[in-house]
Amino acid sequence: MFERYQDVLTHLPEYSKNVFRKGYFKWLLNQCKGWGYFSYFLLAFNFVLQVISLGHSFSQTPVQSLLAFVGGNLSVACVIGISNLSGIQGWCGAISAICIAATGFMAKNYATAWEQIGYLIFLDIFCILDPKWNDDIQAEKLESGLEWLKYGLFFVVAWSCTYTIFSFTNDPRVFLDSLNLAMAITGALLELNRKREQYYVFTLASIFTIALWFQTMLQGDGNFALIFSYSVFFLNDMYAFFSKNSWFRGEVSKKA
Q: How confident is the model over 42-76, as pLDDT tens digits?
A: 999 999 999 999 998 898 889 999 999 999 999 99
What average pLDDT score do residues 120-126 get?
86
How many domains does the chain divide into? 1
In a domain, 256, yes or no: no
Residue 256 pLDDT class (50, 70, 90 cuts): very low
In a domain, 247, yes or no: no
In a domain, 189, yes or no: yes
Is residue 243 over pLDDT 60?
A: yes
Is residue 1 over pLDDT 50?
A: yes
- Asked if 247 and 85 count as a contact pair (C-beta separation under 8 A), the reply is yes
Q: Which range has the top average pLDDT, 87-91, 173-177, 218-222? A: 173-177
Hey, is 142 helix, strand or coil?
coil
In a domain, 74, yes or no: yes
Q: pTM here?
A: 0.81
By residue range, what is the domain housing residue 201?
3-242
Hey, is 55 helix, strand or coil?
helix
Count of residues for the chain?
A: 256
Question: What does the CA dihedral 226, 177, 188, 138 come to, rounded to 10 degrees?
Answer: -60
In a domain, 145, yes or no: yes
In a domain, 59, yes or no: yes
- Asked if 162 and 178 count as a contact pair (C-beta separation under 8 A), the reply is yes
Segments in 31-61 forming alpha helices (H): 37-57
Is residue 253 over pLDDT 50?
A: no
